[in-house]
Structure formats: structure tokens, C-alpha cells
Structure 1
């Protein structure tokens, strides 16, 4: 059993919800992994004693409460490194699916240098990297099997995730997000318009025209601001809205698919299942059970 002061127990108490997955990963890069599904809330997390990696696996967007109104939001596949001794304050509306990794035993020099820099700045490190996101999802998926999980595979994959994380920190992989870039008037207005028109045809060309710039310039501006392509962002916004409607309304799933801009219910189900590991119907049932348990 972990000691009462374990950082994952501290996180669990602060969130007020039990994780769906909770397991230690041994090997050369020991971690403690957890998987959470949470609902509408504002979470103020006090500083933890170890480095924490949070990966947004799906659901509603999460806003840094210290930057509300700036567009500093974290959506599916975006990640955040929280240094030891740094508190955070988050606002989210709807079901949020998150993987958390506590770096309890990593003593790599590059990581220690990163910790020193982040601790001195007193700021989390937001970034986007497909490999880190995919590895995080695969790790918690495998750990979901409990005693039947492939331990050797988990340890190898954790080592790859940590190695890629160091590459991101050194600037040779991934994209560090730049929320300040979202203060640009044209980007803010486009993002707001996107939220209100998810049911429509949202090509990069359409968005560039809304921003009043060329398509190629818009792609660069968007990548600098959010660390991903416009197409990927639109898809993730649509899946975010799907999650909100599944948990906050009784609308039929086919209607939700139409309102969120998917060509068909089957297209939405395929995209949603790829991100969440659950069909929309199963996600709705699981969220309802968790909501009922929280009410009790």
C-alpha cells in the first residue's frame, strides 16, 4: 500500500474522485499512473512534491483559471507538465478524461535541468506531442487489465514516453503551446466562431478566410498558437461537444452526430471510440453511473 503522503493519494483527495486506473510502473523509469473521468468542476490543486504529467485524453476542454479569457485551453491530446511545488487552478465543464503520471523515481540529468527551470519560473509546461499522448493512452489502457496487464510491455512503453518527453523539453520534438499567441484578435474571433459553428463545413480555407489571412499563413499561425493543425483542432472540438451533449442532455446519439458536424452516426462513433476507448452509448452510461455515485 502507498504511504499516506504519496503524491497520487494527495491528488486523489484534492480531486475528490477515485481513479479508474491506479498502478505503479517499475523498470528503469518508475512512474505511478492513474486514469480519471471527472465532471463539471473547478479544481484548485495544491503543489505536489513530484513532477506530474497530465494528458488530456478526451472530453470537455480544460481552462487555466489564471488565464481565463485568454484562450488558454487544453483539449484532447494536449499535455501539461506540472513541476514540484507548483499549484494549479482549473475550470472544466462536462466530462473530462485525463491520464496522470507521477514521476517518482526518474533522475535523468535532462529532466532534473527541466525541473530546475520550471520550478524557478513557477509555471506549468503545456505542450502537444502525438507520441506522448498515444503512449499515455496505451499505458492506461493496458493497466486497465489489472493483474493481466503485460508488465514488460508497460515498462518499455513508459521508458519510450519518458524519452520522448525529454525530447519535447529540449525542443527537438513536439510543440510547446503558446497561449499568449491566442490574444491575437483574429485568432480569438476565429476560435469563438468555431465554437458556434461546429455543425458546418469547417475547412482550413474557410477558417483562413474568417481570419483574413492566406491558408498557408493561417496554418502557421494556428500551429504556433495551439501546436496542432486546424483539422485536428476542429475534430477534437467536435468530440468535446459530443462528450458535453452525451453527459448533459438526453439527445439521441444520431442527433448529436448531426449537431456536432459529423457526416453520420457511424463516423462519429468511430472517431469517438478511437479517442475514448468507449462507444458514445457506453460513455454516456458510464458518465451517468459516476455522476450518480458522486451525488450519493
Structure 2
């Protein structure tokens, strides 16, 4: 039966050798898997993979990162994990496993299934601690948490999607980490206040000047002089929307001006504004405006 809350030992801090690691699923495989989709950010990576039948077990050294894993397969999967003790569970669709940095697990499982694995460096938890207070991830097996499951589903959808929005992915990682920390402790106090007028102006100017770039939360947070967790919440207070939503809206506004006043091909406009393809741009534009870029261009010149 699935456990209702996070239990077990608290995760230890990462050693200096683990800081700044590039969490590439190719270099640090979590299981014996076939990778279906993956994405890498500065301090985290996510992988959607297929688990092969492995009843004989698999061992590895201590994890240099925190791991949050969710079963996204359609069938229940008998799973055994050995850390400081043996954990035998049947993982159903939506069940989670959480392993803190430093855990040295051994695994065995039966059958073939799919899972979504998020690997996070300890520095992300230190950002949370700076903004919200002490932060620990507790080891847990076959967990059920509605908030965490919903966020992990959004992450899986992002991995499957065509467009890549770095700010959106990093915001999801932050939200998942916060949900995992708070699952059995309750929400921590949130920082009050927002950005100063000078900070907000600098950020707006930076974003407008780099609409075609792959902006990261780290870059925006450094500009504001804040941690990533603190910055994301202060940005929403100041601008009324999340950083990724503001960036997308400004890109669409710039695209409308370019479509209305110029003759450049739609594909060129899409790539110049940071969209991965013509189809990604068209779909995003249609959701925001209600018509396609080409239809908007024709309507603006009537």
C-alpha cells in the first residue's frame, strides 16, 4: 500500500565536489533504462525513460544529487530499493520515490514500465532555504501527493512537447522541489514584498533586449541580486505573472509589431524571437491572439 507522507532520514548537504555538476542523464543513469526524452538545465535534469525488467538487481555508488522519480507507466510495478534498510513496494501510476543526495541505493524490479526522473543539485535546496527557511528532502518510497503528482505531470508534458522554454522548465523544477520539501511539513513562510522599481525596470529592459535568447532564471535572478526561489516570487508580485509567462507575452507583442510593419518570413521572425520552430511559434501565437501569424499579418494590412 502506498505511504501517505514522506518518511525516513533527511538528506545531507552535497559535498563541494558535487557542486556545479552537469546533471546529464547520459552520464548519470539512474536505472538500466531506455531514454525516451530528456532535458538538462544548469542545476537539474529530467528524463522520461522506459525501465527494462530487472529482477536480479542493480547497485550504484552514493548519489551526487537529489532524485524525485514518478511511475508514469500504466501497470503496477513491484519494486525493491535498499538504502539503510529494505523497501519493498508496488509502484502504481503516479507513485513517487524520493532519494536525497548521498543515498547509496540498490534496486530490483519486475516487469517493464516508464518513469519520470528529476535529478536536482543540492544548491537548488540551498536557494529554497535562503528564501523560505531550512530545506530537507526526506527519503520516501511509493509516495502519493496530489500537488507533486500534478507538477510532475506538467514536467512530463513539457518534455514531450515541441517547444523548449527554459524559464518554464526551471520554474517547474523549483515548484517540484518546493512541493517535495513541503509534502509532509506544510508550506514554509513566503518572502514578503516584491522588486524595487529600479529592479523591475532593469529586468524589463533586459528581457526586451534579449527576447531571442534562451534566458534562464539564474541570469534574471542575478540581475535582481536575489536567489532563484526568492526572485521567482518577487517577480510575480511585481509583474503580475511568472517570468516565463511574461517572456512569452513580450515575444508575442514583439512578433505582432514585426508582422504588422515588415515583410520578413514568419519562420525568420519565429527563430529571431527564440521559438524553436515555425510550428511552435504559430501554436503559441494562436493561443495568445486567437489567429495564426499569417492571418494576423493579413488582417493588420487591410
TM-score (norm 1): 0.45
Which entry has the higher C-alpha Rg, 1 or 2?
2
